[in-house]
């Protein structure tokens, strides 16, 4: 069983962007946010139980930096970190407007095998379009692109340099707490082959993921 879970973890970590968005819009300047996410891509008839924690900081009114840690990977002696920065590049139309705020982000994921020291880095970049609704709700949609510099090392000729993802979700931001749900269409340009695993496709290709997020706001 552990072997099967590990195969799923490797597939999710190396072939897809397996995190929910850490932040979708800049935090208030000086604000900290500490949170976690639960969810992942569907493997066989269930979902891979990826658990991560993160912290984010509002560096300015337009820029937020963040860093996260995948908890489940540590059980398989792998250090799995992600870090990046998000910046507002287009102001929205305000409360209830159809014109969304546009935020770009970029960063990368680091994986280090604690047994053999094998290290891989995966740069990524993308954007969120975010609408602001009453009562603290923020629906959003966007895309991101992951780069795998070591794709030639993948087994079964399944490696590829670029890994696009599409995502959409809803965040509720209260005075002290943020909660959200996010769906992802992972790698819609390809299909997956994972030994002894079935990865259900979405619209005939890629994979599908579902994530839940919860964070505490520190002014």
- Residue 2 burial class via C-beta count within 10 angstroms: exposed 0-12, middle 13-18, buried 19 and up: exposed
Q: What is the pLDDT along the chain (219 residues), one digit of tens a residue?
A: 444 444 445 454 444 467 899 999 999 999 999 999 998 777 655 566 789 999 999 999 999 999 999 998 888 788 889 999 999 999 999 898 999 999 999 999 998 888 888 888 889 999 999 999 999 999 999 999 988 887 776 655 666 788 888 999 999 999 999 999 999 887 776 666 555 555 655 566 667 889 999 999 998
Q: What are phi and psi of 89, to 5 degrees?
A: -115, -10
Distance CA 186, CA 144 (A): 10
Are 167 and 161 within 8 A, CB to CB? Answer: no
The pTM assigned to this predicted structure is 0.86
CATH class of 2-218: mainly beta
Residues 6 or more apart from 5 whose CB is under 8 A from it? Answer: 48
């Amino acid at each position: 069983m552990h072997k099967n879970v590990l195969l799923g973890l490797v597939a999710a970590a190396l072939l897809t962007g397996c995190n929910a968005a850490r932040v979708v819009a800049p935090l208030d300047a000086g604000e900290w946010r500490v949170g976690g996410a639960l969810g992942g891509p569907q493997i066989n008839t269930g979902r891979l139980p990826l658990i991560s924690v993160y912290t984010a900081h509002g560096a300015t009114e337009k820029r937020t930096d963040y860093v996260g840690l995948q908890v489940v990977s540590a059980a398989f002696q792998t250090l799995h970190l992600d870090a990046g920065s998000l910046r507002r590049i287009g102001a929205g139309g305000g409360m209830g407007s159809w014109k969304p705020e546009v935020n770009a982000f970029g960063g990368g994921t680091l994986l280090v095998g604690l047994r053999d020291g094998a290290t891989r880095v995966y740069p990524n970049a993308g954007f969120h379009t975010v609408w602001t609704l009453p009562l603290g709700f923020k629906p959003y949609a966007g895309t991101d692109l992951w780069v795998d510099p070591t794709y030639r090392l993948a087994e079964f000729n399944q490696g590829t340099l670029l890994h696009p993802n599409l995502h959409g979700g809803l965040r509720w931001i209260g005075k002290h707490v943020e909660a959200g749900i996010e769906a992802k269409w992972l790698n819609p340009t390809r299909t997956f082959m994972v030994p002894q695993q079935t990865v259900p496709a979405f619209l005939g290709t890629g994979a599908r993921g579902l994530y839940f997020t919860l964070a505490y706001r520190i002014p």
